A and B are shown apart, each in its own frame.
Chain A
Amino acid sequence: MKKIEMSSEFLIILRRFRRNRLSLLGSIIFIVFVFFAIFADFISPNDPYEMHLKTRLSGPSSRFPLGQDEFGRCILSRIIYGSRVSLTVGVLVVLISMSIGLSVGMISGYFGGFIDTICMRIVDALLAFPSFLLALAIMAVLGQNIFNVILALSLVGWTGVARLVRGEVLSIRERMYVVGAKAIGANDFYIILHYILPNVFPTVIIYGSLMMAGAILQEAGLSFLGMGVQPPVPSWGAMLSAGRAYLRSHPHISTFPGIAIFLNVLALNLIGDGLRDALDPWLKR
């Protein structure tokens, strides 16, 4: 019975999501990137690490569709492999930040008082730092690899979720159905799980899709500054940075990874937009 419910609800949301053409486009772009990430070994035309120093810096050709970088590596292959880094970072950062942010935000907002003050002062302190600088500092301390990138971005990312969730909970807990739940004898844990969580979920999912775009950008930024994923592992941000020296003479080296970042972020933003419309409970019918 539960299963039928869930799937019919899911179908309603899906149907409404599909009505929005732009979001559909966004999802298609995003799915293509996911496909790249999963099947990189099969679809990339060349080995992303193999250098062809004789033909370095050359533009698009039949063998290297998007040209070669400063070591003669295939840019298309590196972009395809780079989507692995970007998506792993994006997904994991969102998941970790969501778990921490949701828990802290719900507890803080629901119980209020002393707990709220403590949690929110911690959040304030973290938000007071420029988040990118904080991530940079964490990377400098922990050392540069992909797991530390995820850790650093999650540590700065959860605060936004916590703030957002707390605000939502503050308004939800005053709603009448929470009083109604208390009136039928529900305890706090039950109310948080069955009444608060499902009602903050739409907001959080939308925020998550936008946050993923942010995390991908930040990873690119960290790698651009040499504080992210270390070479020779392909990362869009690092590729962008490597091409910087050749921007005038060989602009394709930076342009194509830049387009990849742009498309990915755009896709996620479009999805976020569509989700907001699809998940709005007042539009349900």
Chain B
Amino acid sequence: MSLEVRDLKTWFFTEDGIVKAVDGVSFNLKKGETLGLVGESGSGKSTVALSILRLVPSPGRIISGQILFDGIDLLKLDSSEMRRIRGGKIAIIFQDPTSFLNPTIPVGEQIAEAIRLHRKIPKVEAFYEAIQIMEKVGINDASIRARDYPHQLSGGMRQRVMIAMAISCNPSLLIADEPTTNLDVTVEAQILELLKNLKVEKKLSLLLITHNLGIVAEMCDKVAVMYAGKVVEYGDVYTIFESPSHPYTYALLESYPSIRYGVYLPKELKVIPGDIPDGIHLPPGCRFHPRCPFSKEICRLEAPKKIKIGNEHYVSCHFPIS
């Protein structure tokens, strides 16, 4: 499995104007790796995930770019080929499992249906398999729980069901769109642990979308930091955390309490002044310049190009921090 996203642009054509939710995003993800896609709300992270599966809701459209999955451009597939990819090769788990499960079908049957969409096996067999997968994702009394409806389960259980559904057809890439945002911390830790184990066991590649830097440090090999529809910095997790080059990445890390070497280091948490720009009224030049402490004249005039500053470490900034 390999995923390579090249210069992806997904725009939303709203009545108020064109929202450039994703505007030239590139990254790649190798087999067995975990890539963290980080950024504030509204930076376009989720739109990237939906673009990969070609499920961008109207009025959004993928304008240009390539999404190469094992060398095949997903954007060129017809709809029945794409359906075989969805769930079969690339699966996704969403932030809010409550609204992503069909309220009218018991969860076990939903998982069984997901299996049957990709493999022609009898219903009973699929249901039996669904129960096994539910056990695997840590649902106790799976054979009883399988007959429950989504509303009868707790939030953590629902997320486990979503994960069971996602891995039911042995995909090679799992996209997790803020998988733990709606859960409390203890359940969050359990779900992350489960994802980690599944990743190793099933040799999954994981695209983890989150705004939680703690999760990134915990889970990811590579990090792509997104700001206003662009990837501003990309590198492996140690480089990003130890020596961030983009002022935005730096500011993000400064705004987050940290424990290093097992010791809590008290520091003053800094706020990034201002808000992320909306996708319609993007500032000219570098999109971060109105909030950037280092911005100069050129930042307002010219968009920075992606420059390589280390081994697989890229940054888009006129004045990268070294």
Chain A residues with CB under 8 Å of chain B are 1-2, 4-5, 174-177, 179-187, 190, 194-195, 198-199, 281-282, 284-285
- B100 and A186 contacting across the interface, CB-CB below 8 Å: no
Chain B residues with CB under 8 Å of chain A are 53, 55, 57, 80, 83-88, 91-92, 94, 96, 99-106, 109, 113-114, 117-118, 123-124, 127, 147, 149, 151-152, 165-166, 169
> Which of the residues B99, B117, B151 comes within 8 Å of A185, measured between beta carbons?
B117
* B251 → chain A closest CB, angstroms: 32
Assuming A5-B106, A194-B105, is B87 touching A183 (CB within 8 A)? Answer: yes
- A194 and B87 contacting across the interface, CB-CB below 8 Å: no
- A184 and B91 contacting across the interface, CB-CB below 8 Å: yes
Q: Which residues of A contact B83 (CB under 8 A)?
A: 185-187
* A74 → chain B closest CB, angstroms: 49
- B102 and A195 contacting across the interface, CB-CB below 8 Å: yes
> Which of the residues B103, B114, B123, B127 comes within 8 Å of A199, measured between beta carbons?
B103
Assuming A1-B127, A195-B102, A198-B105, is B151 touching A183 (CB within 8 A)? Answer: no
Q: Which residues of A contact B147 (CB under 8 A)?
A: 4-5
* A170 → chain B closest CB, angstroms: 13
Q: Which residues of B contact A179 (CB under 8 A)?
A: 55, 57, 100
- A177 and B106 contacting across the interface, CB-CB below 8 Å: no
Q: A177-B99, A199-B103 are in contact. List 17 more A-B contacts (CB 8 A).
A: A1-B127, A5-B109, A5-B147, A176-B94, A177-B102, A179-B55, A181-B102, A182-B86, A183-B55, A184-B114, A184-B165, A185-B86, A185-B169, A186-B83, A186-B87, A190-B117, A285-B152
* B5 → chain A closest CB, angstroms: 18
Distance, CA A186 to CA B149, complexed state (A)? 20
Q: Which residues of A contact B169 (CB under 8 A)?
A: 184-185
Report the tally of A-B residue pairs with Cβ distances under 8 A: 77
* A2 → chain B closest CB, angstroms: 8
Assuming A176-B96, A176-B99, A177-B102, is B55 touching A182 (CB within 8 A)? Answer: yes
Would you mind naming 6 contact pairs between A and B with Cβ atoms under 8 Å apart? A177-B99, A180-B94, A183-B87, A184-B114, A185-B84, A281-B151
- A185 and B94 contacting across the interface, CB-CB below 8 Å: no
- A194 and B91 contacting across the interface, CB-CB below 8 Å: no
Closest 10 CB pairs of A and B: A185-B87, A184-B87, A176-B99, A198-B104, A180-B100, A185-B86, A184-B114, A185-B83, A176-B100, A177-B102
For the residues of A in contact with B, the DSSP-based class is helix
Closest-by-CB residue of B relative to A179 is: B55
Closest-by-CB residue of B relative to A191 is: B102
Distance, CA A176 to CA B91, complexed state (A)? 15
Distance, CA A198 to CA B110, complexed state (A)? 13
Distance, CA A187 to CA B109, complexed state (A)? 17
Q: Which residues of A contact B124 (CB under 8 A)?
A: 1
> Which of the residues A186, A198, A285 comes within 8 Å of B117, measured between beta carbons?
A186
- A185 and B103 contacting across the interface, CB-CB below 8 Å: no
Q: Which residues of A contact B165 (CB under 8 A)?
A: 184
Q: Which residues of B contact A177 (CB under 8 A)?
A: 99-103
Q: Which residues of B contact A1 (CB under 8 A)?
A: 124, 127
Q: Which residues of A contact B113 (CB under 8 A)?
A: 194
**A1, A187, A199: which has the most chain B beta carbons within 10 Å?**
A1
- B106 and A183 contacting across the interface, CB-CB below 8 Å: no
Distance, CA A182 to CA B106, complexed state (A)? 18
Q: Which residues of B contact A282 (CB under 8 A)?
A: 151
Q: Which residues of A contact B114 (CB under 8 A)?
A: 184-185
Distance, CA A187 to CA B88, complexed state (A)? 13
* B120 → chain A closest CB, angstroms: 13
Q: Which residues of A contact B123 (CB under 8 A)?
A: 2
Q: Which residues of B contact A195 (CB under 8 A)?
A: 102
Q: Which residues of A contact B106 (CB under 8 A)?
A: 5
> Which of the residues A175, A183, A281, A284 comes within 8 Å of B91, measured between beta carbons?
A183
- A284 and B151 contacting across the interface, CB-CB below 8 Å: yes
Assuming A175-B99, A179-B57, A281-B104, is B94 touching A184 (CB within 8 A)? Answer: no
